Structure 1
Amino acid sequence: MSKVKNLSEDSLKDAKLSPIEGEVIHVSTSMEMLDLEDEPGRLKRDFKARHVNMLAIAGAIGTGLIIGSGTGLKRGGPASLFLGYLFTGSLLMVVLMSLGEMAAFSPMDKAFSGYPSRYVDQALGFAAGWNYFFKYAIVLPANLTAVGLIIQYWRKDLNVGIFITVFLVAIIVVNWFNVKFYGELEFWSAAAKLITLTICFITCIVITCGGSPTNQTIGFQYWREEAFQEYLVDGGTGRFLGWWACVIQACFAYVGSEAVGVVFGETPDPKKNIPKASKQVLFRIAFFYIFGVFILGLAVSPTNPLLAQASGSNASASPFVIAIKTAEIKVLPGFINGCLLIFVGSSANTDLYLGSRTLYGLAKDNFAPKIFLKLNSNGVPFIGCVFTALFGLLAYMNCSDSSAVVFGYFSSAVTVFGILNWLNIMIAYLGYYQMTVVQKVSRDDIPFRMWGQPYTAYYAIGCISLITFFNGYNAFITSFHYKSFITSYIGIAAYLIMIAFWKLYHKTQRVSSDDANALFNYRM
């Protein structure tokens, strides 16, 4: 019969633990241990449960779905788009459920640098943290620009720089107050997203069934005639590349969903609320993404001329709006454009939030200057907010045509960082999982466990690695396009260089699976 050792907060903080053969370590996960919000210098767990739940469902839904899905539909066709989102959604499900398991077992406020550092290697934590920060630091000015372009849908006479300035100041103000204020605003923004998508979905169903002013019943016509489109080359290879294009587009629509893991660091009662929020991911993936692109493929032909001409960030580029225009429905395009303002404004707000929290986490792990640990009276890492907001100034490059081209390349170069973060999460999870096995952690001490592990983790890592390696496939088809190659792979190169630099300079060691201090020390 195995012995059971109960660990108090002090023993977890001070002791260097070495599990003894036949001994099971039991961890007290009481709220007195986990709820450290009153400790000076720590982020406050002031999110409400409904904030976390709504952010888990709709917080990361952005223009990648409501606008970007048109690119996938045009390149691959409705069946390829559906299968691409289904395949990539299965990977995201594994990533987020695995992240939820780690966060429920040992919640921390170190963003995404914390788990790789604790369970794998500090070099990986360093690269993961800065990888995540740079992603949002560059996406922030891109979203600010998109806000301006959306407003120009109504006021083409006004310079986009005006709206960049107004929204940049607005999101700085929002992020300066207690996190409850950010959570409340994002709660209602997420609710507006759900309402918008529901309206789009119902409208597409009505159009498909012949309820539009054209009285045309489409049914499954596009699935029968244009299910798989050829992309770049002809024949079966072209249809496969069309599907792969949909997989890549789906990744960029899904990227950002893992941001709920940062929210977990300021979540009250993490043992209860994190598993609940993690399970709601299934609903979001199944309904808003997979079902969404399914009905989109029913309502819009991949050969629709408006789809081929679509570009930009306003409503005219949305395949849902194209379906509405083709069906000759009035008014709705302007309404959808107004809703897109909420999508993009919310994204810019979240970019600043995530950037500041990521810098805070990096500083806690000694991967960034300690100045980023400073909190204002509202418990907000204000230095990190200001530093991240400075990257928003890059949006003014888009006020000049010549600078906008350079900024476009810059933005494309960092989008792969989002997929790399999924890989970081899964590698950290395998390290965590191996520790729980080696140290014989009781199932009762794990509030929530992702099913099928570790095999689902291996599946996710293998597929995400393939997507990361082949995301720049179009740089090699027909002829070599060096600009596409550079923007597709420079992010990977930077990521590997960061790992190598920290590993060689600091001579870090792989964390051992026997290291109980790494597994149970909540105060790391």
Structure 2
Amino acid sequence: MSKIGENEQHTLKRSMKSRHIFMISLGGVIGTGLFLSTGYTLNLAGPGGAVLAYLVGALIMYLVMLCLGELSVAMPVTGSFPAYATKFIGPATGFTIGWLYWLTWVVTVGSEFTAAGLLMQRWFPNISVWIWSAIFAVLLFTLNALSVKFFAESEFWVAGFKVIVIILFIGLGGAAMFGLIPMEGHASAPMFSNLLNQGGLFPNGFLPVLFVMISVNFAFSGTELIGVTAGETENPDVSIPRSIRTVVWRTMIFFVGAIIVLAGLIPWKEAGVIESPFVLVFDKIGIPYAADIMNFVILTALLSVGNSGLYASTRMLWALSQEKMISPWLGKLTSNGVPLNALIISMLVSCLSLLSSVIAPDTVYVVLIAISGFAVVAVWMGIVASQFMFRRQFLKEGGRLQDLKYRTPLYPYVPIAAFLLCLTSCIGLYFDPAQRIALYCGVPFVVMCYLIYYLKNKKSAATPPAQ
């Protein structure tokens, strides 16, 4: 089977190396989902439930990435998800997935700007949050507008800093769990008292594990950025499989290792989202200036996620334009190969999300965040469904498995299992009143995208061609 999109991809510069796409993907996944949301998961599901939820989330992420690997190597196109869904499921589904993924990231980028501005208040309480948010917005816009290579290089170093801090946290926290490092308020190792004497591993039962799955999946989102970068990657046949293997296993170790340490060191009743659980741990270990250190770490994490998110949302608009689903104006590139018009629109909408987080934090902003969490899982479902249909069509057209340079193992069980697990995560939203709004807003948004696509194409079909 020929690689789709080759003719229109020549204008993009393949300037990213394996180390770039690896760090871009890690940069997108290691953010507030790890540094803040883990507290919510631990509080709701308990220590055993939190660890189990992250293990299941890691499994789902792994299965999705196995499916994405086959698609990305066979068809390395930028903004790949809508292109795959359009070809193998249907153009309306491709249109919907593209908008879902774009919406996820522009909302995330706006929220990262706001959160970063709030973090700066710790050191500069007299300077408005808006000033810092605007400074960070200009910084990230500039990094994305200069060139693909400049963006990738900056993300490589920022994401690398986060990785070092997480490794340090797991090492120090692990030592504290077993009593090798003293903990404030504990004469011996705190692990056993927190895991066993606070209501057990599952103090609220097993059902809360289902409740938190959408938050856990959202925390793992960003790994799929490897597929978005495929069209701008040097030697994708080699770089993409290598990056997928590296990202999947290291993400699993970082997230599952971190949640095990948190569960062992923090009583689940004390965990929450008001203060990062990582800060609580460093405070209890007694590291000098722990709060300031973690404040800086979380700040860089937010900016790294915003950097990757702005890249992803821009490429999604560019991909939709290439598929002729939106205006060709959004597909124009600069001399450096940057889709500047798409970048400007994504930034402007991100700033609208930023506005909503301050003007109406209990209404618009909450709705957008809920949709973004639902949208990530919906996009993952689109990825695995596309791989299922691709393999079936490939074999039907006489293709040989040995011709695929990267093959999803255990087909069709892997894509089917991934789809069902993602669907279960979405169903779990209904049983948690705090997150149910994701279904009430997300499902109508999907329906609206399909309706817009069909109405748009019906109108185009009814318009006679110009003479």
TM-score, length-scaled by structure 1: 0.81
Please tell me whether the aligned partners of residues 9 and 231 of structure 2 are also in contact (alpha carbons under 8 angstroms): no
Larger radius of gyration: 1
Instruction: Compute the RMSD of aligned alpha carbons.
Output: 2.4
CA distance in 2, matches of 1:402, 1:51: 37
Aligned counterpart in structure 2 of residue 454 of structure 1, from 392, 412, 423:
412
Identity of aligned residues (%): 25
| TM-aligned CA deviation for residue 222 of structure 1 | 2.2
1:220 aligned counterpart, secondary structure: helix
CA distance in 2, matches of 1:167, 1:58: 16
Aligned counterpart in structure 1 of residue 245 of structure 2, from 254, 264, 279:
279
Please tell me whether the aligned partners of residues 363 and 373 of structure 1 are also in contact (alpha carbons under 8 angstroms): yes
| TM-aligned CA deviation for residue 58 of structure 1 | 4.8
Matched, 1:221 2:196: no
Matched, 1:339 2:297: yes
The code of the aligned residue for 2:263 comes to G
Q: 81-90 or 443-452: which moved more? A: 443-452
Please tell me whether the aligned partners of residues 321 and 333 of structure 1 are also in contact (alpha carbons under 8 angstroms): yes
CA distance in 2, matches of 1:38, 1:500: 29
1:268 aligned counterpart, secondary structure: coil
Counterpart residue number, 1:353? 311
1:156 aligned counterpart, secondary structure: coil
| TM-aligned CA deviation for residue 380 of structure 1 | 0.2
Matched, 1:439 2:397: yes
Please tell me whether the aligned partners of residues 100 and 275 of structure 1 are also in contact (alpha carbons under 8 angstroms): yes
| TM-aligned CA deviation for residue 118 of structure 1 | 1.2
Matched, 1:212 2:163: no
Matched, 1:490 2:441: yes
Counterpart residue number, 1:517? none
The code of the aligned residue for 1:343 comes to A
The code of the aligned residue for 2:226 comes to V
Please tell me whether the aligned partners of residues 103 and 264 of structure 1 are also in contact (alpha carbons under 8 angstroms): yes
Question: What number of residue pairs does the alignment pair up?
Answer: 455
What whole-Å deviation, never above 9, does each CA across 1:380-434 have from its counterpart, x for those lacking one? 0000011111113225536856566532333223321111110110111111011
Counterpart residue number, 2:147? 178
2:429 aligned counterpart, secondary structure: coil
Matched, 1:254 2:220: yes
Aligned counterpart in structure 2 of residue 145 of structure 1, from 114, 120, 143:
114
CA distance in 2, matches of 1:252, 1:295: 20
What whole-Å deviation, never above 9, does each CA across 1:325-374 have from its counterpart, x for those lacking one? 23443322211110111100111112211111101000011111000111
**Mapping of residues 59-70 of structure 1, within 5 Å:** 59-70=28-39
Please tell me whether the aligned partners of residues 62 and 343 of structure 1 are also in contact (alpha carbons under 8 angstroms): yes
Counterpart residue number, 2:345? 387
Name whichever structure is richer in helix by fraction: 2
CA distance in 1, matches of 2:439, 2:368: 11
CA distance in 2, matches of 1:96, 1:397: 34
The code of the aligned residue for 1:69 comes to T
CA distance in 2, matches of 1:504, 1:334: 53
Which structure 1 residue ranges, 5 or more long, are not aligned?
1-24, 231-237, 312-316, 476-480, 508-524
CA distance in 1, matches of 2:394, 2:90: 17
Distance change (3 Å), C-alpha of 1:34 and 1:490: closer
| TM-aligned CA deviation for residue 245 of structure 1 | 3.0
| TM-aligned CA deviation for residue 105 of structure 1 | 1.1
Matched, 1:303 2:290: no
| TM-aligned CA deviation for residue 36 of structure 1 | 7.0
The code of the aligned residue for 1:280 comes to T
1:430 aligned counterpart, secondary structure: helix
Counterpart residue number, 2:463? none
What whole-Å deviation, never above 9, does each CA across 1:224-252 have from its counterpart, x for those lacking one? 2344344xxxxxxx412222233232112
CA distance in 1, matches of 2:240, 2:415: 19
TM-score, length-scaled by structure 2: 0.91
Please tell me whether the aligned partners of residues 214 and 426 of structure 2 are also in contact (alpha carbons under 8 angstroms): no
Aligned counterpart in structure 1 of residue 453 of structure 2, from 502, 508, 519:
502
CA distance in 2, matches of 1:84, 1:436: 35
CA distance in 2, matches of 1:186, 1:125: 28
CA distance in 2, matches of 1:265, 1:334: 39
CA distance in 2, matches of 1:106, 1:52: 16
1:450 aligned counterpart, secondary structure: coil
What whole-Å deviation, never above 9, does each CA across 1:4-59 have from its counterpart, x for those lacking one? xxxxxxxxxxxxxxxxxxxxx7x6x8xxx9987994xx221111222123334554
Distance change (3 Å), C-alpha of 1:447 and 1:38: closer
Q: 394-403 or 211-220: which moved more? A: 394-403
| TM-aligned CA deviation for residue 155 of structure 1 | 2.1
Matched, 1:71 2:22: no
